[in-house]
């Protein structure tokens, strides 16, 4: 029997992206013939996925004008049964591909319409108009393709312009088979007061300097915590941290690892007592929980995260960590203290994480939905 051909493509995401490649493509490759066209240099097979490289185009205008036609031509040559794209810039090409008779999916990772208000390359006076144009284009495109939406509630999808019956929620839960080898028993006993974080450090939703100040506030109270940081750190960012008044007092407690492979980050987590989630969108724009939270849950690692409504609701139901105001270093420091204060409370949170990972919050449950969609007739 000939396996159905799936072509995934993106002009933004790297070939090793944690959702596009590590979750979706690698899982689908067990049941389908999968090609990924994405930013990177790898050509040929990787973990059962046929990789086709694209150049990285940093300028967003050039990316649309040059990258869009380029990836469309490469995708068209694959003559796939299913096309699955990941960037809002590619919606017009998704519509075009639907006319080939192939089934087309748009993977909506984020609240793009809300994010437009924070895009520095778009003049402020144009942002509302562009957001409305995007919503209308998505709503029209949704007649030609099915959308995989990373949203907590259906209303959030409707607010983005998606149509009832034309989207399926496929959430960013973590793959248990990758996390289980890095779990440790009796984490409270096995670890010191060490925090861990991986991802962006500074942009319109991320403010790592607030974490640094919280560590300083804890130190002033006699509470010493260590912090492992994984992620790209440019020289300007680092220099801005060194100019903080309290830098010399906390620098010995920080380890910047730079960008490291995901498996190496999971290995670092074996020494950690607290996982940090740093993304801090305005409440009205927060449509989903960040991927890292589900990785911490799968590792059995209690975490600190923002106090937006969907995070509070999840934590009130499941008790997997502590929410705090990520704009307020004092609130962050109090949250860290809360996770370090009581062994029995901590162990309950860690146990809840593991139980919930097996009951619901695992990629394996989401893959079954994804696989069913891919098996639907063209």
CATH number at residue 324: 3.40.50.2000
Q: Are 307 and 283 in contact (CB under 8 A)?
A: no
Kindly state whether residues 162 and 240 are assigned to the same domain: no
Kindly state whether residues 77 and 152 are assigned to the same domain: yes
Kindly state whether residues 194 and 279 are assigned to the same domain: yes
Q: Compute CA distances 157 → 24, 263, 360, whole Å.
A: 21, 32, 21
Kindly state whether residues 118 and 233 are assigned to the same domain: no
Query: What pLDDT score was predicted for residue 209?
Result: 94
Query: What pLDDT score was predicted for residue 54?
Result: 97
Kindly state whether residues 294 and 199 are assigned to the same domain: yes
Query: What pLDDT score was predicted for residue 117?
Result: 79
Kindly state whether residues 137 and 24 are assigned to the same domain: yes
Q: Could you identify the residue written with the tokens 């839960």?
A: 173
Kindly state whether residues 211 and 306 are assigned to the same domain: yes
Structural domain boundaries, residue 67: 5-173+363-375
Kindly state whether residues 94 and 199 are assigned to the same domain: no
For the chain, the maximum distance between any two Cα atoms, rounded to a whole number of angstroms, is 67
Q: How many CB atoms lie within 10 A of CB 44?
A: 9
pLDDT per position as a tens digit, 267-298: 999 999 999 998 888 888 899 999 999 999 99
Query: What pLDDT score was predicted for residue 114?
Result: 82
Q: Running along the chain, 378 residues long, what does each successive block of 10 average in pLDDT?
A: 89 94 96 97 96 95 94 97 96 96 94 82 86 92 94 88 92 94 92 91 89 97 96 90 96 94 93 94 89 96 96 96 95 97 96 96 95 84
Kindly state whether residues 81 and 230 are assigned to the same domain: no
The domain total for the chain is: 2
Query: What pLDDT score was predicted for residue 1?
Result: 57
Kindly state whether residues 239 and 136 are assigned to the same domain: no
Could you tell me the pTM of the whole model? 0.92
Kindly state whether residues 206 and 92 are assigned to the same domain: no
For residue 243, which phi and psi values (nearest 5 degrees)? -90, -5
Kindly state whether residues 144 and 200 are assigned to the same domain: no
Q: Are 122 and 168 in contact (CB under 8 A)?
A: no
């Amino acid at each position: 029997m000939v396996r159905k051909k799936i072509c995934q493509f993106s002009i933004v995401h790297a070939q090793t992206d944690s959702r596009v490649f590590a979750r979706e493509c690698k899982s689908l490759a067990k049941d389908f013939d999968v090609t990924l066209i994405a930013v990177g240099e790898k050509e040929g097979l990787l973990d059962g996925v046929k990789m086709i490289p694209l150049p990285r185009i940093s300028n967003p205008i050039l990316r649309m004008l040059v990258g869009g036609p380029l990836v469309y031509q490469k995708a068209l040559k694959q003559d796939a049964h299913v096309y699955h794209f990941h960037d809002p810039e590619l919606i017009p090409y998704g519509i075009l591909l639907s006319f080939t008779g192939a089934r087309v999916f748009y993977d909506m990772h984020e609240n793009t319409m809300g994010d437009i208000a924070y895009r520095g390359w778009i003049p402020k006076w144009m942002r509302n108009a562009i957001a409305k144009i995007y919503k209308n284009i998505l709503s029209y495109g949704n007649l030609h393709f099915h959308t995989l939406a990373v949203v907590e509630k259906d209303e959030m999808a409707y607010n983005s312009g998606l149509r009832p019956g034309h989207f399926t929620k496929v959430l960013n839960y973590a793959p248990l088979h990758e996390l289980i080898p890095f779990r440790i028993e009796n984490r409270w006993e096995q670890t010191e007061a060490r925090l861990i974080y991986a991802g962006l450090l500074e942009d319109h939703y991320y403010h790592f300097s607030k974490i640094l100040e919280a560590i300083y506030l804890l130190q002033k109270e006699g509470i010493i915590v260590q912090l492992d940081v994984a992620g790209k750190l440019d020289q300007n960012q680092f220099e801005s941290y060194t100019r903080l008044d309290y830098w010399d007092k906390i620098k010995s407690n920080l380890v910047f690892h730079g960008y490291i492979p995901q498996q190496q980050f999971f290995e670092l987590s074996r020494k950690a007592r607290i996982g940090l989630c740093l993304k801090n969108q305005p409440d009205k724009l927060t449509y989903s929980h960040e991927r890292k939270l589900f990785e911490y849950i799968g590792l059995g690692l209690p975490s600190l995260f923002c106090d937006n409504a969907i995070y509070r609701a999840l934590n009130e139901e499941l008790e997997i960590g502590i929410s705090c105001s990520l704009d307020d270093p004092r609130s962050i420091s109090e949250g860290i203290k809360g996770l370090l204060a009581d062994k029995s409370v901590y162990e309950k949170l860690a146990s809840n994480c593991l139980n919930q990972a097996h009951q619901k919050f695992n990629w394996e449950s989401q893959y079954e939905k994804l696989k069913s969609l891919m098996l639907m007739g063209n």
